[in-house]
Structure 1
Amino acid sequence: MTDEVRRLGAMFAATDDEITDWYTVPRRADRWLRVNFIASLDGAATHDGRSAGLGTPADKRVFGLLRRLADVILIGAGTVRAEGYGGQLLDDAGRAWREERGLPPHPVVAVVSARLDLDPDSPLFSAAPVRPLVLTTRQAPAERRAALAEVSDVLDSGGTAVDTRLMRELLAERGLRQVHCEGGPHLLGTLIEEGTVDELCLTLSPRLEGGTARRITDGGRITPTGMTLAHVLTGDDGTLLLRYVRAQTVS
Structure 2
Amino acid sequence: MQRIHNAIQLTGLNREDLAELYAYPTQLQAPWVRANFVSSIDGSATSGDVSEGLGTPADKTVFMMLRELADVIVIGAGTARAENYGGARTDPRLRRALYDRGIGGHRDGAPPPIAVVTASAALEPGARLFTDTEVAPLVITTATAPQDRKQQLADAGAQVIAAGGVAVTPEGLLRALADLGLHRVLCEGGPHLFGELLEADAVDELCVTTAPVLVGGTARRISLSAHEFRTSMMRAHILLDDDGTVLTRWTRR
**Matches for 1:113-152 after TM superposition, within 5 Å:** 113-150=118-155, 151-152=157-158
Residue type at the aligned position of 1:134: V
Give the 3 Å change call, closer, same or farther, for CA 187–65 of structure 1 in structure 2. same
Paired residue secondary structure (1:200):
strand
**Matches for 1:159-174 after TM superposition, within 5 Å:** 159-174=165-180
Q: Which residue number in structure 2 is paired with residue 208 of structure 1? A: 214
Q: Which residue number in structure 2 is paired with residue 97 of structure 1? A: 94
Give the 3 Å change call, closer, same or farther, for CA 76–28 of structure 1 in structure 2. farther
Give the 3 Å change call, closer, same or farther, for CA 131–12 of structure 1 in structure 2. closer
Residue type at the aligned position of 1:182: E
* Residue 11 of structure 1: how far off its partner (Å): 9.5
Conserved? CA contact 1:72–1:176, under 8 Å: yes
Paired residue secondary structure (1:211):
coil
Render the CA deviation track for 1:192-241: whole Å, top value 9, x for unaligned: 11111111101101111111111111233222111111111111111110
Residue type at the aligned position of 2:222: I
C-alpha distance in 2 between matches for 1:59 and 1:13: 15
* Residue 116 of structure 1: how far off its partner (Å): 1.4
Conserved? CA contact 1:198–1:245, under 8 Å: yes
Q: Which residue number in structure 2 is paired with residue 57 of structure 1? A: 57
* Aligned residues: CA RMSD: 1.6
Moved more, 183-192 or 150-159: 150-159
Structure 2: gaps (5+ residues): 1-5, 101-105
Paired residue secondary structure (1:144):
helix
Give the 3 Å change call, closer, same or farther, for CA 156–11 of structure 1 in structure 2. closer
Q: Which residue number in structure 2 is paired with residue 108 of structure 1? A: 113
Matched, 1:24 2:30: no
C-alpha distance in 2 between matches for 1:117 and 1:219: 22
C-alpha distance in 2 between matches for 1:11 and 1:188: 27
Q: Which residue number in structure 2 is paired with residue 3 of structure 1? A: none
2:162 to 142, 156, 160: 156
Residue type at the aligned position of 2:152: A
* Residue 83 of structure 1: how far off its partner (Å): 0.7
Matched, 1:234 2:233: no
C-alpha distance in 2 between matches for 1:147 and 1:212: 36
Residue type at the aligned position of 2:60: K
Moved more, 201-210 or 114-123: 114-123
Give the 3 Å change call, closer, same or farther, for CA 12–194 of structure 1 in structure 2. closer
Over the matched positions of the two proteins, sequence identity in percent amounts to: 45
Number of residue pairs aligned between Structure 1 and Structure 2: 238
Task: Normalising by structure 2, report the TM-score.
Answer: 0.89
C-alpha distance in 2 between matches for 1:215 and 1:204: 12
C-alpha distance in 1 between matches for 2:128 and 2:227: 34
Structure 1: gaps (5+ residues): 1-6
Conserved? CA contact 2:8–2:238, under 8 Å: no
Moved more, 64-73 or 126-135: 126-135
Paired residue secondary structure (1:220):
coil
C-alpha distance in 1 between matches for 2:43 and 2:10: 29
Residue type at the aligned position of 2:84: G
Give the 3 Å change call, closer, same or farther, for CA 210–225 of structure 1 in structure 2. same
C-alpha distance in 2 between matches for 1:241 and 1:166: 31
Conserved? CA contact 1:38–1:205, under 8 Å: yes
C-alpha distance in 2 between matches for 1:221 and 1:206: 30
Conserved? CA contact 1:28–1:177, under 8 Å: no
